[in-house]
Amino acid sequence: NWAANGAPAGSQSASKRLEAIQIKIVRKGEAAPKGSGKAFLVGDEARTPAEIANRLRAERLKKKPYYYSQRDPQWINTYIGNYTIGAAGCVPTSLSMILRGSYGYNVNPVSVATRMASYGGLNQRYFGASATDLVITAQSYGRSIKVINDVATLNAYLSEGYPVILYQNVGIGHAIVVHEYKNGYTLTYDPYGRQFYSGWVSTQALWNTPSNDPIDWTEGRPCFVIL
């Protein structure tokens, strides 16, 4: 009702006050009280935890790593520390693919490598980047990073659309990105111009050929999901 000085005033006053409000709590998606609408439901918003999880999974799968090559002429000869990105930049290049494609950061191999080197590791005390360099740098961008200790867990994370970095044995230790999972295979993103891996590769085969370089094992098994 319209009110003035605490009393009903019809339509003569210029203000309106709320005398009381009654709230009835209903489950999300159920019919709203005294109406035919749905409570707290907007558009086609998922209604159940399972539907929400499926929607988020679909969104992660759409956000594919953005392919970068460490051999790109833009930075192949760029020195970070004692070596070039073209020769020893697989780890920062792999991380930059995930940060840009999966999580929307405005980065490239040079910017990620520069930050990684600022912590004292990449191409300074050794050739390339250790697992610890990867962990510190990923966390510096606000991402969580976890070690994966078995192939079943690797498959589960990939099925949920999370990107993973693997340190592989290709004669030397070499980091690559994998994303998605279908019938035992995952899609590879090899930063070395796709020379060592291309397309869909068996996760078991990847799991069986980890890097032998000790600096790649400083955090445990050299297989990391970036969250």
pLDDT in tens, 149-170: 999 999 999 999 999 999 999 9
In terms of DSSP bridges, do strands 185-189 and 173-182 run parallel, antiparallel, or are they unpaired? antiparallel
> What is the residue whose two structure tokens read 């006053």?
13
pTM higher than the cut 0.75: yes
Q: Which pLDDT value is given to residue 36? A: 44
Query: What is the second-level CATH architecture of the domain 65-226?
Result: Alpha-Beta Complex (3.90)
Contact 174, 90 (CB under 8 A): yes
Residues 184-205, mean pLDDT to the nearest whole number: 99
Which is higher by pLDDT, 116 or 39? 116
Instruction: Identify the pLDDT of residue 47.
Output: 74
191, 203, 121: which is closest to 154 by C-alpha? 203
Say which range, 12-16, 120-124, 147-151, 210-214, has the weakest mean pLDDT: 12-16
With 50 as the cut, is the pLDDT of residue 102 above it? Answer: yes
Q: Are 175 and 91 in contact (CB under 8 A)?
A: yes
Residue 37: what pLDDT? 46
The mean pLDDT of 34-58, rounded to a whole number, is: 69
pLDDT single digits (tens) 5-14: 656 655 554 5
Cβ neighbours for 118, distance < 8 A, ≥ 6 positions apart: none
pLDDT at 218 over 70: yes
pLDDT of residue 139: 98
Where do the structural domains in the chain lie, given as residue ranges?
65-226
Q: Is the pLDDT of residue 176 over 80?
A: yes
Write down the mean pLDDT value for the chain: 89
